[in-house]
Amino acid sequence: MSLTATTSDAPSTSRPRLPSWLRVNLPLGQRLTVLNATHGTIDSHGLHTVCEEARCPNLNDCWSRGTATFMIAGKECTRGCRFCSVETLRQPARPDPSEPQQLAAAVERMELAHVVITVVNRDDLADGGANHYKLCVQAVHERRPDITIELLSSDLAGNEAALGHLLDDIPLAVFAHNVECVRRLDRVARDPRASFDLSLMVLRRAKELRPDLLTKSSIMIGLGETDSEVTEAMQLVRAANVDMLTLGQYLAPGRPGERYLPVDRYVPPDQFDCWAEEAREMGFCAVAAGPLVRSSFRAGMLLEQARRHFD
């Protein structure tokens, strides 16, 4: 259901000013102290976060709560999606063999209850990086067996053997992989090696391999989709037996040009509320939807929401 002209079925061709609901404030007092401590922990272990590399608008909010989404296997991606600010390299350096233990030490130091580990695409590696991803998850679990772990994985170039190896006996609570945008915009927004259908295959196969794991995906709004296409995309994701869903506003990470797509529209919070209601009616057990929501937005809280659904 559309609530304003900005969410009509015809995508807007103009680029409106940044609306008030997308403004964020810097934390103060104790939360500023926690933010600085989080920054120090990440730097001291030589780690990368998707918060920084993807220029997430929630960085100050999350870090001031002592949470961060770690990005492993390097800070360069072998793909060049037009919505992402992570640097693209055809042949990045080999994954750091010390990264699993450095990551585990940082997670332990931050005293996290839930950790999100995301990855860069590593099409240069035969297994797409699956073994390195698994080593990182295992190292965190060995150091902190009491916390829940969420892995936001790449599509591993559709390598089902690599996906099987990754998920075999891996100590995860959530396996996540993002479809990113509606199917029609694949060729506009995503690297040619990625697709909506490939992402659905990964999510569906992950659930078949590990039915005990919660699966999760995310859709960006504001790339040129229509409201009806958002609904259709949610239906397709749910049909892949995905449990959890996030929807958020696309914000161009730099100046629109050869790489970055411009923002097609800014969607108000009440429209996100409508999509969240639709998603729950479709059967998603946990949903986060809003202008500032990202795939790992308050991930621990979303996991608890999903678990309550099954209690």
pLDDT tens, residue by residue, 56-105? 555 555 545 545 678 899 989 999 999 988 889 999 999 999 999 999 99
Confidence class of residue 311 from pLDDT cuts 50, 70 and 90?
Answer: confident
Position 146 scores a pLDDT of 94
State the pLDDT confidence band at 17, using cuts at 50, 70 and 90.
low
- The Cβ-side half-sphere exposure at 50, using a 13 Å CA radius, reads 22
Cα distances from 173 to residues 117, 274, 292, in angstroms, run: 12, 28, 24
Kindly report the pTM of this predicted structure.
0.84
Q: What is the mean pLDDT of residues 236-243?
A: 98
Answer whether 248's CB lies under 8 Å from 293's CB.
yes
* Confidence (pLDDT) at 97: 96
For 110-147, the DSSP string reads HT-SEEEEEE---TTSTTTTHHHHHHHHHHHHHH-TTS
Give percent above pLDDT 70 in the chain: 77
**88 secondary structure, DSSP code:** E
What pLDDT was estimated at residue 55?
54
Q: CA dist 225 to 188, 234, 248, Å?
A: 11, 13, 13
Q: Which residues pair with 180 in a beta bridge?
A: 219
Determine the Cα–Cα distance for residues 170 and 254; give it in Å rounded to an integer.
Answer: 37
Distance CA 289, CA 246 (A): 5
Name the DSSP class of 65. T
Residue 9: predicted pLDDT: 46
User: pLDDT digits over 270-303, tens only?
Assistant: 999 999 999 999 999 999 999 989 888 888 889 9
Would you state the pLDDT for residue 88? Answer: 92
Q: 47 pLDDT exceeds 70? A: no
Q: Domain 24-310 carries which CATH code?
A: 3.20.20.70
pLDDT at residue 260 is higher than 90: no
pLDDT of residue 296: 84
Q: Quick check: 222 pLDDT over 90?
A: yes
Question: What is residue 259's DSSP assignment?
Answer: S
What is the edge-to-edge ordering of all strands in the sheet holding 244-249?
48-49, 69-72, 114-119, 148-152, 174-176, 214-221, 244-249, 286-290
The predicted pLDDT at position 6 comes to: 38
Position 54 pLDDT exceeds 60: no
For position 61, what pLDDT does the model report?
Answer: 57
The residues that bridge with 249 in the sheet, in sequence order, are: 221
Domain ranges (residues) in the chain: 24-310
